[in-house]
Amino acid sequence: MSIAIANLRHVFGLKGDVANNVAFQDEQTIIYPSGSNCILYNIETKTQKFISSIEKSGGMTAMALTPNKRYIAVAEKGEKATITIYDLQTLRKKKVLTTTDVQSQQYVSLAFSPDSKYLVSQGARPDWTLLYWAWEKPKPMASIRTSTNVSNEVYQVSFNPNDNAQFCVVGNGVFKTYKFNDGTLKANPIQKIEPQNFLCHSWLSEDRIIVGTDTGRMLLFEGQEHKKDFHVSSPVAPDSTGGESRFPLNISSGGSGTAGQSETSESAMRAQTPVLCVTKYSKGFLCSAGNGVVYMYEKTDERELYKKAREIRIPISADSAQATANMKGALHEIMHMTISPSEETIIAGTRNNQLYTIGLTGAEISKGEQSLFETLSQPFHYDQITGLDVCIRKPLVSTCSLDRTVRIWNYENNSLDLTKEFQEEAFSVALHPSGLYVLVGFSDKLRLMNILIDDIQPFKEFTIRGCRECQFSNGGHLFAAVHGNVIQLYATYTFENVGNLKGHNGKVRSIVWSQDDSKIISCGVDGAVYEWSVYTSKREGESVLKTCSYTCAAVSPEGGTTFAVGSDKTLKEISDSQIQREVPAADTVLTQVAISRSGRMLFVGTAQGSIRAMKFPLTVPGEWTEHQCHASSITKMRISYDDGFLFTVGEDACLYTFKIMDKEGRGLKAKDITYAEEILISKSDLQEKDTAMKELKTRVYELNMENEYQLRLKDMNHHEKTKELTEKFIQEMESLKTKNQVLKTDKDKEEAKHEEERQELIERQHQELQDLESANNQKLMAEYEKYQELQAKSQRMQEEYERQLSAKSESHKQALREQTEQYETKLHEKIGQLEAAHDEMRQTMRIHEETKKQIEEDADREILDIKNMYERRLREEKEGNMRLTGETGIMKKKFKSQEQEIEALKSDINNLNTEKNKLNGVIKSLEKDILGLKKEIQERDETIQDKEKRIYDLKKKNQELEKFKFVLDYKIRELKKQIEPRENDIKAMKDQIQEMDTELERYNKNNTALDLKIEESKQKLKANKEEMAVQRQKVHDMEAELKRFRTDVSNCVQYIQDPQKLKTKIVELNKKYVQSEQAVEAAGMDVDIQKEYARQRDHLERSVASFRKKLTKDQQIHRADNVRIMQENVSLIKEINDLRRELKIARTQISSLKYALNLDQNKKVHDLEANSNVLKKGALPIGPIISPEELDQTKKIVDIQKSEIKRLRDELRHSINRPLSNGQRLPPLEVAQ
């Protein structure tokens, strides 16, 4: 007792409905799905490797290959949609991803990130949920619904080739790009376009996407903007001649262009076809449109547009099979394309499960614009395979399908030998043991046909319509064919009907011959399994089970035991007309059964597409090994005559070949079968081939004679040309030698002349160098004297600036404490007012709907005002940024001019470079501050957008409630109409009416009082509006005053070099703005407080909450600003300390210089050498050789540094005293006496 071993050997077929179903692993290996397996097919060696799917899978729906070609993701449908990651090196499962975030049972598209670490999966209806995975983790990182409409399908998702967090999604009315940020997926804004059915897309670059639609349009997007439209037109009838292209590309800018009359007339001859697939390559992109057509577009230098370079077609074969298939436009539509890593090969997958290839470097591409695809390995079936049979004398397998083709496969070299397409669907097929004939059951007749060397030709027809089963005997002298519920026996060579087997009450589903051809076992949908005698045409055994509809039967080699499977999910062993064993199949319907000729191996096929190698002899409960292969039900199963191979076909149009053996390895017979090599050929074909061969031999002889004559003529011409060229070459050599001699003489003369000029230049340069050294020594002395004066002035200014800085710092701290206390007092007052307003609002909430609407409108206007205020601030910040940029540019220009003037002094150059680095650091810190301000403005804009969105949602919800109210009112009216007045109820209710009259009078009084309150509220609201207008005018006046103040401050900046004038101007500013405002504020404070209670009665309930949020946010912002300013102060203090140290060092050096000036003039030369050494080390010179010009230059440098320090301090003071966002005034300045 053992279980047979079945190893998958080869698969013929393609699962065409899988998204991205073909991809290159490397230059020689492609990956594509077939059945429930992924096939790794080597194009060179034509061998296959296999990746099996998970158990109980509903079939593959999508696949994706990582960019590093290491892993592949396969999406499978089921009760829960599943994604399985496989390692392509070990062909083993790496990770299984499942989640409850998706309601659908399948994924329609998968895509890996550029670094192969992240995966996006697009779910199907009803929720169309997209998941973002870090696939090495079990749970998704984020999810989002890409389509809000259940009927709008989503087709494809892909990553940006340079961004792991950005990807694109397209579908019916869906075109979006998403960005993963901080654990969420956010849709990027895209230019609005009319809704279309977007079928496919591809990233051409980091910011460029091409999208294909079902109307033949391709839309080019760049940077989220619609740039160009490409209109792909295809002729109604394909051009089979392979001539020049007749498929132009019409481009209109922005998709709004209109075609002229010539284009209109031409488009009338063409039919728009959907763009089904777009693939990027280095020179442009490929797109598939129409019946088997691929267009190649390449970049052009003109505005970076794309132009059609050539087209590639699926060829129209001369045989009827391919010709008929090519006329079916939907079948040859190319759904998927892939390009090899070296971009030398294209592989395309079509809707009818075919794979085609073409080389981009071949001669067929370079010859013209139109090229033809070639079949990758062999054509496959594209519809359900209904029949299967194996030959005894040859390694052949025959299949037939609902695609109207009959195919002969060679399982020894895994190739397709013959294919033939017919006008009718084929339901069954049987191969003669010799391999020379094939019997096929069509919908109209049963045909017996010859298998020729290159064709299948019928030679006998039988009037059996819709024959679902036919089978040759093992000897080949008889065949059986099913006609409804009757089995008819015919002689193979005489075509006589030798018997009819009648007894089934339903359709016969399976017939099988015993090994000695003496018996036929049949089973059918009537639940009967019959054993027939071939010689008497009578039943010899039967087993009837009405509750089971049998689909297949197999007989043991000795013919005494029958195995049958059917709809009752069991495998039955029948012997002597009795069911000996029933092996349950674990809630799976078994569709096929096959037993080896040795009787040691038994296989069954299931409705889920798997095969089971059963433990034989059978046991209850049964034991088996299951192999996943087909994606749907197995329709036929056969074992080769030598028990070496198992063949299965299914509804998924795939043919699987397994290598089988039992546990002891006894797969083959002791004596291997020698396969026959004979083939059939018709007499007319043989005569035509002989005639053609004779004609070709004659033609070859004539061509040889002609070629010999042409060669002799060419040899003569070549000899003459060679002689002429030799003479010409000798003459040219003589002339070139003469020219060379002349040129050498000229060269010697020029060299002597240049040598004299060089000597003169060296002497002149030496004299100029001595003059420059003496002039520089004089300048150095002048600069030293200026430097002493500047040093004293610098010390005085430094002390003055330090005193002013301490005074300003204390005044700022005092003003900040006063303002904090003032605003805390106001805040407590506002809280008390808010509580009072809350109590009053609770009483009047239900009767002030109109007031509510007006307040909402006021809130909207206030939001707009706030938005305008921040936009104005943004403009002001930009102006300040421009001013700072201008000042920086001026400083850079001054620095460059100073650098050019003192190039000769190495020590000064080193000092200036140090200062330049410091200034660059200051500029970078200022630029960081500008970026921080821009970020703050952006955050506030986002807050405004969120509030606007919330207001829009509330309005939309209000509209829905109004609709619901209208429906309820309508129902109430309908119910009132249905109530019929009754006199008895009227009499009983008269008393109640009187009571209600009294209540009505009371309610009228209450309503009168409420009307008075409403009128009073309206008057209060009117007063609030007037007060609001006054406040807005005040805000406008304050903004105007602020502008004036900024103008005056900018006027003061021009006196920054003159401290006295600057001090006078600042005192005037203080008197003009601060003191006058304090007086006015003190005078009007009491009046404002009295009016505040009357203005804020109804408005505070909604405004205070928003003020709290703004206050919290402003506090956070100002806290961050204060921290940043403190850090800047620390850095400035460090810089001041550094300057003090440098000043101390400079004073020391000045004293040493004074001492040096008193030395004897006789030491001048020695001092000059010492100063030169000091200059090389980067220190200040010590000696009397400093010129006045150099001291002037040093003075200018010190002035520039001081002005820069002062400007930075002013900016720091300005940032500290910047007005707050709630309108706070500047603190008064303390004037130093």
Query: What one-character-per-residue DSSP string does 1080-1101 give?
Result: HHHHHHHHHHHHHHHHTTTTHH
Q: Are 648 and 634 in contact (CB under 8 A)?
A: yes
Q: At residue 1120, what are phi and psi to the nearest 5 degrees?
A: -65, -40
Structure tokens at 99: 């989640």
Residue for token pair 């349009």: 217
- Three-state SS at 1136: helix
Q: How far apart (Å, rounded) are the C-alpha atoms in residues 197 and 155?
A: 10
Rounded to 10 deg, the angle between the 1059-1069 and 983-1053 helix axes is 150
In the numeric block, which tokens belong to residue 968? 């309820």
Residue identified by tokens 């059951």 is: 441
Q: What is the mean pLDDT of the chain?
A: 82
From the number of C-beta atoms within 10 Å of its C-beta (0-12, 13-18, 19+), residue 1015 rates as: exposed
pLDDT at 1168: 47
Residue-wise pLDDT for 241-254, tens only, equals 333 333 333 333 33
What backbone torsions phi and psi does residue 407 show, to the nearest 5 degrees?
A: -125, 140
pLDDT tens per residue, range 759-814: 888 888 888 888 888 888 888 888 888 888 888 888 888 888 788 878 877 887 88
The answer for residues whose C-beta is within 8 angstroms of residue 1035's C-beta and 6 or more apart is 1223
Sole residue written with tokens 């010799």: 434
Asked if residue 354 lies in contact with residue 317, where contact means CB atoms within 8 angstroms, the answer is: no
Provide long-range contacts, Cβ within 8 A and 24+ apart, for 962-967: none
3-state secondary structure of 468: coil
Instruction: Evaluate whether 604 touches 614 at the Cβ level (below 8 Å).
Output: yes
d(CA 705, CA 703): 5
Residue 981 has a pLDDT of 60
Distance of alpha carbon 524 from alpha carbon 823, whole angstroms:
96
Question: What is the edge-to-edge ordering of all strands in the sheet holding 284-289?
Answer: 275-281, 284-289, 293-299, 306-313, 370-372
For 162-173, the three-class secondary structure string (H helix, E strand, C coil) is CEEEEEEEEEEC
Token pair, residue 562, equals 């029958």
Separation of alpha carbons 478 and 496, rounded Å: 10
Dist. CA 1–CA 959, nearest whole Å: 76
Residue (of 940, 941, 929, 870) closest to 1121 by Cα position: 929
| Torsion angle, alpha carbons of 900, 903, 908, 914, to 10 | 60
pLDDT at position 937: 87
Q: Which residue has the tokens 């890996």?
A: 112
Q: Tell me which DSSP letter residue 1186 carries.
A: -
Question: Which pairs with CB-CB distance under 8 Å and at least 24 residues apart come from 920-929?
Answer: 922/1204, 922/1208, 923/888, 925/1128, 925/1131, 926/884, 926/1211, 929/1124, 929/1215
pLDDT of the residue at 1062: 82
Rounded CA gap, 1066 and 42, in Å?
Answer: 85
Give the CA-trace dihedral at 827, 829, 834, 836, to 10 degrees.
170
> What pLDDT, on a 0 to 100 scale, did the predictor assign at position 804?
82
25 half-sphere exposure, CB direction, 13 A CA radius: 20
Phi, psi of 457, deg, nearest 5? -120, 125
Sign of CA dihedral 495, 496, 498, 501: positive
Starting at the edge strand found earlier in the chain, the sheet holding 405-410 runs 385-390, 396-401, 405-410, 415-421
Helices 1100-1157 and 906-978 pack at an angle, to 10 degrees, of 180
Sites in the chain below the pLDDT cut of 70 = 1, 233-272, 303-304, 317-331, 362-369, 665-673, 844, 846, 898-900, 902-904, 908, 978-984, 1075-1098, 1101, 1154-1191, 1212-1233
User: Tell me, what amino acid is at 353?
Assistant: N
Residue 288: CA count within 13 A, CB half-sphere:
26
Q: Give Cα separations from 666 to 316, 394, 671 (angstroms).
A: 47, 21, 12
What residue type is 699 in one-letter code?
R
pLDDT of amino acid 332: 79
Q: Please tell me the pTM assigned to this model.
A: 0.58
Q: Are 459 and 448 in contact (CB under 8 A)?
A: yes
CA proximity to 613, closest of 632, 631, 594: 594
Question: Which of 653, 636, 621 shows the shortest CA–CA distance to 553?
Answer: 636
pLDDT at 256: 36
Alpha-carbon distances of 811 from 121, 806, 815, 1128, rounded to whole Å: 63, 9, 6, 19
Contact yes or no for 337/288 (Cβ under 8 A):
yes
CB contact at 8 A, 1155 and 750: no
* pLDDT tens digits along 297-323: 888 877 667 888 888 888 876 444 444
Phi, psi at residue 99, to the nearest 5°? -155, 160
Pairing of the two strands 345-350 and 355-359: antiparallel
Which residues does residue 132 pair with via DSSP β-bridges, in sequence order? Answer: 120, 142
**Residues 919-949, buried b or exposed e (16+ Cβ, 10 A)?**
beebbeebeebeeebeebbeebeeeeeebee
Q: What angle do CA 349, 350, 356 make, to 5 degrees?
A: 50
For the chain, the maximum distance between any two Cα atoms, rounded to a whole number of angstroms, is 149
CA distance 818 to 1081: 15
Please, are residues 606 and 588 in contact by the beta-carbon 8 Å criterion? yes
Q: Quote the crossing angle between the two packed helices 849-901 and 1188-1216, to the nearest 10°.
A: 170
Tell me the angle at which helices 906-978 and 849-901 cross, rounded to the nearest 10 degrees: 170
621 cis-preceded (ω within 30 degrees of 0): yes
Q: What share of the chain is helix, strand, coil (3-state, %, to 5)?
A: 40, 30, 30
